[in-house]
C-alpha cells in the first residue's frame, strides 16, 4: 500500500511498485486531466507537482511519491476561481487542440512559484513541454501577464510593529509609513 496526499486529500493505492504515477492518477484514481503523450519524459503532457516541483509523472514510479504531496491540474483552479495562469490562458486564447495544456499550465504555475518575475529566457528554460500546435508565443505572453497578476496579489511584506494599512500600532505615538515598494 502506498500513501500520499493528492490535491489535499490523503490517498492509498495498492498497485505494483513500479507503476508510473501517471497510470495511478488516470487508471486507479480516475484523474484524467493529466495526459499521456510520449511516456518517455519528453513532451511534458503528464506534468504534475510533487511537493511543489513539476515532474513528469509518466516516468515516476509510484513508490517515489510515498508520503509526498501531489497536485494535479484538477486542483490548480476552477471556473469560479481560476489560477492566474488559467485566467491568462483564457485572455490570450492560448490553446489550440488543448491536449498539451494541462501539463503546460502545471509547468508554468511551478515556474511562477519559483520565479515571480520570469524573463523570456527563464520561460524558455522552464517550458520544455512540447506543443504540437505551436502555441509557444501565446504561452510566453500569458505567463508574463499571469506573473504580473500574481505579483499584484502577493501579500506585501510589512515590517514588525506596523499594521497592513501603514497605521501605527496601538499605543504608538508616531504614525508609520508602509513601505510602498512592491516586493517580488
Residues found near ligand FES in the complex (CB under 6 A) = 36-39, 41-46, 56, 58, 95-101, 131-133, 135
User: Smallest gap, in angstroms, from Cβ of residue 73 to ligand FES?
Assistant: 14
User: Smallest gap, in angstroms, from Cβ of residue 15 to ligand FES?
Assistant: 18
User: Smallest gap, in angstroms, from Cβ of residue 128 to ligand FES?
Assistant: 10
The three grid cell numbers given for residue 158, joined into one nine-digit string: 510589512
The three grid cell numbers given for residue 177, joined into one nine-digit string: 509609513
CB 107 within 8 A of CB 54: yes
User: Smallest gap, in angstroms, from Cβ of residue 148 to ligand FES?
Assistant: 23
Select 13 or 130, whichever has its Cβ closest to ligand FES.
130
CB 112 within 8 A of CB 146: yes
Select 2 or 94, whichever has its Cβ closest to ligand FES.
94
Select 42 or 178, whichever has its Cβ closest to ligand FES.
42
Q: What is the number of alpha carbons within 13 Å of residue 101 lying toward its C-beta?
A: 19
Which residue's C-alpha cell is 518575475? Answer: 117
Which residue's C-alpha cell is 510566453? Answer: 140
Amino acid at each position: 500500500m502506498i500513501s500520499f496526499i493528492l490535491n489535499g486529500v490523503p490517498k492509498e493505492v495498492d498497485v505494483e511498485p513500479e507503476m508510473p504515477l501517471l497510470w495511478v492518477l488516470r487508471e486507479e484514481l480516475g484523474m484524467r486531466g493529466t495526459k499521456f503523450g510520449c511516456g518517455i519524459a519528453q513532451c511534458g503532457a503528464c506534468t504534475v507537482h510533487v511537493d511543489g516541483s513539476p515532474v513528469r509523472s509518466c516516468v515516476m514510479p509510484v513508490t517515489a511519491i510515498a508520503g509526498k504531496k501531489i497536485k494535479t491540474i484538477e486542483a490548480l483552479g476552477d471556473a469560479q476561481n481560476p489560477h492566474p495562469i488559467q485566467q491568462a490562458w483564457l485572455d490570450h486564447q492560448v490553446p489550440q487542440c488543448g491536449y498539451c495544456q494541462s501539463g503546460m499550465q502545471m509547468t508554468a504555475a511551478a515556474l511562477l512559484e519559483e520565479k515571480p518575475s520570469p524573463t523570456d529566457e527563464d520561460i524558455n528554460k522552464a517550458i520544455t513541454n512540447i506543443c504540437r500546435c505551436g502555441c509557444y508565443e501565446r504561452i510566453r505572453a500569458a505567463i508574463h501577464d499571469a506573473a504580473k497578476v500574481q505579483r499584484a496579489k502577493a501579500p506585501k511584506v510589512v515590517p514588525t510593529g506596523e499594521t497592513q494599512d501603514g497605521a501605527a500600532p496601538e499605543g504608538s505615538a508616531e504614525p508609520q509609513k508602509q513601505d510602498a515598494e512592491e516586493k517580488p
